[in-house]
Amino acid sequence: MIEVNAVSKSYGAGTAAVTVLDRVSLTVERGEIAAVVGPSGAGKSTLSHCINLLVTPTSGQILVGGEDLTQLTGAALRTARRSMGTVFQGSSLLRRRTAAQNIALPLEYFGVTRAGQRARVEELLDMVGLADRADAYPSELSGGQRQRIGIARALALRPSVLLADEATSGLDPTTTASILALFKRIRDEFDLSIVLITHEMDVVRETADTVVRLERGRVVESGSIASVLTNPKSGLARELIPDRAHQEPAEGETAWELVYSSGTVATDWLLSVSDALRTRVGLLAATVEQVDGTTVGRLVVAIDSAVSPETVADALAAAGVSGSPLGSRSRERSAA
């Protein structure tokens, strides 16, 4: 379990100080994958470096398994870091070492016996599906294979926490999907707390249990993926399921932007809303999918402008949907 309590990080002093993180708090439970997202310069990588104490926070606490790492120094801190593995963008393998030798690096550093190293490396190579590439050098591996070796190396010391900083950046969609599936399998098999630093919203939607958005070093939105996507006021939901281009409503109709605000929206809800309003509800655009076991959706529909917004909102709410009008094209305006 990871607990980040009011962590701040500043560089410089006095009027020249630059605050990169400003009282950031988040919790990642065991067996949970948490994504940290935000624009470039938001503080995502700095947060990752603070969690594993590669960067010392200016203030606040970093607790892993209940132990406050910010209070540790020297040998005690080095021992605590063994509980955390890190996967870097581009895998960061040593090019003059084979795949097996790269995985063995942390084992060598902590004095594991040669026999112990061999057994652990073989186990990890098999786990990431590269048992036949043990003697290959990084230049002989594909990008996805290099990243798998990086993940294996991060797991060498049997950590309880895994930090992945842009681990799928630059990979093709098929390879990305395989790496994400590996993360989920690792989470399930080893009950890890995993933090994904990413700018790829598809990665968040497909893999994470919870998400935190940073802007200018501050948490501006957070929650489970399902709760974010069913929140009609969520700006993050718009990034996770972007707006689709839609056709204009017909004359005398208003376009409504809708969000599934309940995880139990019936498949025939459009028909029930149409019946309740006694008018046609036209579908102009839609994205509906299952995310973490919850049906989520963003849609644009056309509804007769003569029906009051309050009546429409009530009918939608009864179906587990929230929405607001985007605009209308009245017959009078069209005629003009």
DSSP letter string, 145-197: HHHHHHHHHHTTT--SEEEEESTTTT--HHHHHHHHHHHHHHHHHHT-EEEEE
The pLDDT score that the predictor gives to residue 243 is: 72
- The answer, yes or no, to whether residue 334 has pLDDT greater than 90, is no
- The answer, yes or no, to whether residue 66 has pLDDT greater than 60, is yes
| CB within 8 Å of 167: residues ≥ 6 apart | 87, 88, 89, 147, 150, 151, 179, 183, 196, 198
- The answer, yes or no, to whether residue 336 has pLDDT greater than 50, is no
- The stretch 133-142 carries a mean pLDDT of 95
Percent of the chain beyond pLDDT 70? Answer: 97
169 to each of 44, 52, 139, 192, 314, how far by Cα in Å?
Answer: 14, 21, 18, 22, 43
What's the pLDDT band for 79 if we cut at 50, 70, 90?
confident
- In terms of Cβ atoms closer than 10 Å to its own Cβ (0-12, 13-18, 19+), residue 282 is middle
> What letters, b where the CB count within 10 A reaches 16 and e where it falls short, cover 40-77?
eebbbbbbbbbbbbebebeebebbbeeeebbebeeeee
Which helix H or strand E contains 28, and what residues bound it?
Answer: strand 18-28
- The answer, yes or no, to whether residue 222 has pLDDT greater than 90, is yes
Task: Copy the structure tokens of residue 240.
Answer: 């996770």
- The answer, yes or no, to whether residue 327 has pLDDT greater than 70, is no
- The answer, yes or no, to whether residue 270 has pLDDT greater than 90, is yes
- The answer, yes or no, to whether residue 335 has pLDDT greater than 60, is no
DSSP label at residue 308: -
- The answer, yes or no, to whether residue 263 has pLDDT greater than 80, is no
Q: Where are the chain's structural domains? A: 2-233, 241-335
What's the pLDDT band for 233 if we cut at 50, 70, 90?
confident
CB 135 within 8 A of CB 98: yes
What's the pLDDT band for 245 if we cut at 50, 70, 90?
confident
Q: What's the mean per-residue pLDDT of the chain?
A: 90
Q: What homologous superfamily is domain 241-335 in, according to CATH?
A: ACT domain (3.30.70.260)
- pTM of the full structure: 0.82
**Domain spanning 2-233: CATH 3.55.40.20:** no
Task: State how far the Cα of 111 lies from the Cα of 133, in Å rounded to an integer.
Answer: 25
Amino acid letter, residue 126: D
Q: Of how many residues is the chain composed?
A: 336
